[in-house]
Every structure is written in structure tokens, then in C-alpha cells.
Amino acid sequence: MNIKGKHYRTIWFKDKLTVQIIDQRYLPFKFVIEDLKSVNEFVDAIKDMHIRGAGLIGAAAGYAMYIAAVTCPNINFDIYLEDSAERLIATRPTATNLRWAVERQLENIKKVKSKTEKIEIAKKTAEEIANEDVQFCKQIGEHGFKIIKKISNKKRGDVVNILTHCNAGWLAFVDYGSATAPIYLAHDKGIKVHVWVDETRPRNQGAKLTAWELLNHGVPHTVIADNTGGHLMQHGLVDMVIVGTDRTTYTGDVANKIGTYLKALAAKDNRIPFYVALPSSTFDWKIKNGIKEIPIEERGSEEVKCIRGWCDGSIKEVLLTPKNSPATNYAFDVTPSRLITALITERGICKANKDSILSLFPEHSNINTEISIKFQSIWKKTKTFDFDISELNLYRTKLYNLGLIGTNNKGIGFGNISQRINKGLNFIITGAGTGSLPTLTINHYTVVKKSDIEKNLVICEGLINASSESMSHAAIYALLPNINAVIHVHSLIGWKKLLYKIPTSSKNAQYGTPELAREINKLLKETNLKKIQIFVTAGHQDGIFSFGKNIKEAMDVLIKALPREQFS
């Protein structure tokens, strides 16, 4: 962002031993740059909100871990870093970016051995975290811009009125911001926008920080009391709401500054779209229920009882309440996914639900599937690979629409489909946990390079881990050179009808295990499986496998064997 003609990030290296930040406590009245040279100074800066905002405290934690490495006293290096990490994480419990950045640093630092290498990798990782934050926010702006443009076109170029809450702007990140990035881009491209800026009690981040940012960027805006938003919505003065988030569950629940939930309720009641902008570092891939599981930070009561402002040439604090009246200060609340129109991420826009979120972030599709993968997986993460999945994906979609691939009552995906590559033992297969997704892309597939039954090992490459049934698919390809496609589905009706009437694996052979792979070998030798090309798994309820010389043949074998009531 430009301040008086000079571009600034919110955090940057001054030299090898000093990180500089913009001390937000003095804004909008003074522009103060602070030097941070120790872990203690970082801890105080984050805890006491010299810096704040999900993306920025994540970046700051990355820089802090570097400072910890480069200033480590003459004691055990790794223990000192672990202690510094724990202290940093404890400063702000709600925002997930903080822990994410610290753990990323620790993981990278452990990859090298010497102290010199550890310091170098810590510096590199800190810069990567900061640069990614900038890039992701810029991409969020580009995706969110399309929403604003669409509203502007609908209003025939009239002003688009946007309501914000708290500060999810440039000051909350390293640059651009999340919620403000689309606004800045729309303004820069000539779309008429006006922003209603919630004051955001008790620390007034909206009135102080968002308003200051918008003023510096030249964006028309009006500061309002927090309770004004509902009135504006009732009278048609708000076209959309856009906020940030400090932690978002993989199911779409959002923890943001206290008062966000009430804005979402008002928006829902008045049929006004409510958007949340966030980089992927803000997702918590371990939490399902935001209201029950996200820790809500409680800050000191003085923030509620007192207010800071500009008076007689200096910043002063005054008491608002009776001196002896108690006060409670919850810093965040949780907005449930049902109230959110969509999430705006660096990869695009998605609905606030698990399936839609995972469609953008397939590398996390194995949520709830770790217990399902029973083999040792050596998984090399690669973004894409050169393979035409169009036919394979067509039949996978058909299987999903027929209910043969999907999600069970525990939320765990089932069913997979694969295809041999170039007549070798390598094959491409749908990834772990993708059963819940109605449509897939190349990013939801992985290539199995090797399978070793004796070692219970699968080696794969892709953006997502291999399906839990990969070893079974591999066994079929290894034993039947003319077979080029394998389908695995779940059908309770079909399973009951076919059990022991066609080749059936042992009850003792569970899915995804070497035992099931050996059972496939046994069935091929002792039954007519090679001829009929379909079998059921007694040790894996509902499980049915079919295979063929091509994907169409495998599909035809399956559909022909299933009872007609399966599709009624």
C-alpha cells in the first residue's frame, strides 16, 4: 500500500538481525515504525496488538522463528526453537495462521542439520510465508472483483455499497488484504464503490484502521456505529457484505471479529450476499464444528471499559463505564456456514461447505480418511501430471450420480476408479477422500507408481494421496495384463444380492490390505472371476469391484450385475 507516495508492506527485514513493523496502536493518528530484534519483542507485539490480523501475525510468526534461530543463545538450539514456538503460539489462540506459520518453520528447519543451514532455511521460509501472503491476497482480490463487477453491471454502473466489519485489509496482512483486496481492485478499475465501515468495538479496528486505509487509497467510505448495519440493510443501502476470518473450519464455519455473526444474521434476513475472504492458511483442516471447537480469545476488560483516541495533540485513554462495573471481552464469534454466501480464496470462490471447499483444495480431501488408509504410503506431492482423464472422469461422474460413489453416514468418502497407464503397472486413480465430491479435476487424481504387497507399500505421485483401495487395484493390474480399468463402488442392495453368488473375498480380508490383494489372486485362480470380471468383498460391507479391458467395459459389467432396484 502507498502511504504519502511510498509503498509499504506491514512487515519487512531492516537487516539480518532486525524486522520492522508498522505499529498499529498509533494509527490513524501517527505512522510509527517499530524494530523487533528478539522473540520477546515479537511475543509482546503480537499479544499486545502492535500488529494484528490473521495473515500478518502468521507472517510475523515466521519472521519471529528466524529471529529465534539467529539470536539463539549458547544452549540447545532445537530446544530453544521449540520453546520459542510454544511462546509464539500462546499469544493469540483463535487465529490459525499463527500456529500454521510456526509449524511450517519447525518442519523446514528440521530438514537440515547444521545451525548455519537451519538459520538459512528459517530466513528463506519467513520470506516465503510473507511473499505467499501477498500473492494470495492479490489473487483473492482478482476473484472477489468479479463479484463486485457483477453487482455493478446489475446496477447499471451505479454505486456498489459494501459493508465491512473489523479490518481485513492491508494492515491485517502483508499487503493488499483479504476483504479489501477486491474493493481496491474494483476502485482502481473504475467501478463506483462505497464502503460502510463498522467501527468494530471494542478496539475500533474499522474506525481506526480500515477507514485510514480506504482514505489513503481514495476509496469513498463512511464510518458507522456497529449497530447501524441492520438498519442500512433494511433500507436497501447495502449490496454486499465482505469480511475476513481468523480461522475457518473445513466445513465452512468462520471465526471473525466479535459482531460478525450479527451482521451475517442481518444479511440473511435481508437477502444480502455475505462473503468471507481468506487465504488458505486460515483454514483449520482439523476442525469440523466451529462453534464447539474453535477457541475464542478473551481479552482484558479494560478494552471494553475504556477507549483510546486523539486529544490535545496526543493519544489518550478515557473511561466509558462506571469504574467498578465488570466487563467481559470476547474477541471473536463464529458465523455458521449456513449464513455465508461464499468464501473467496486465492484459488477461487467456493460455497461454505466441505465438498465445495475441498474441490478447491483437493490435497486436503483425505480428511477423515487417515484411518481408512491401511497401507504404508510414500506420497510425492506433485501439482499436475500429463494424462488425459476425460473418459475416466466421465465415468466417475456417472458413478457418483448413481450413488455408487459417495459419502457414508460418518462423512467418509467411498468408491474409486482407476485406469492403467501405457500398458505398464502404473495406473491413475481417484485420490483418498474424494468420494464426497460430485465432480473431480486432474488435481483429484494420483498416479500409483509401485505397489508391494509383502511390504504393504504404495508409492504414488499427485496433489492428493492415493485411494485406500489402491493396493487392490494394483493387484488386479499385476495379475491381469489385459485389464486396463478397475471400478470399486459401494452398494448395499447389490452387495446383499451378489454375496457368495459371485466370487467373494474372505471375511478376514479387510479393504486396502495385503490380505485383500492376496484374496484377489486366490479368486482369480479358484473361481470364474477372470471371466465374469466382478467380485464382492465379504470383509468390506457394500464393497464391489469390477474390471475390464477399458473403462466402458468395466462399467457395463458392474451395471449389468447390479439389481434393477439399485436404480429405481
Catalytic residues: 246
> 526 burial class (0-12, 13-18, 19+ CB within 10 angstroms)?
exposed
Comparing CA positions, the residue from 530, 512, 511 lying closest to residue 521 is 530
Q: Quick one: cell of 326?
A: 465488570
What is Dmax (Cα atoms) for the chain? 94
Cα separation values, 138 from 141, 280, 484, 501, Å: 5, 13, 44, 59
Give the residue among 56, 55, 59, 52 at the shortest CA–CA distance from 27: 52
Burial 472-500, CB ≥16 within 10 A → b, else e: bbbbbbebbeebbbbbbbbbeebbebbee
How many CB atoms lie under 10 A from the CB of residue 217? 17
Block residue for cell numbers 528466524? 66
Residue 521 CA to residue 524 CA, distance in Å, equals: 5
Give the list of residues 6+ apart from residue 122 with CB closer than 8 angstroms, or none: 65, 66, 68, 69, 70, 105, 108, 109
Do 337 and 274 form a contact (C-beta atoms < 8 A)? no
The answer to whether residues 487 and 547 touch, using CB atoms and an 8 Å cutoff, is yes
Distance between CA 48 and CA 40 in Å, rounded? 12
Alpha-helix runs per DSSP H in 457-498: 470-479, 492-498
Q: Is 137 helix (H, G, I), strand (E, B) or coil?
A: helix
Q: How many helices (DSSP H) and strands (DSSP E) are in the chain? A: 19, 29
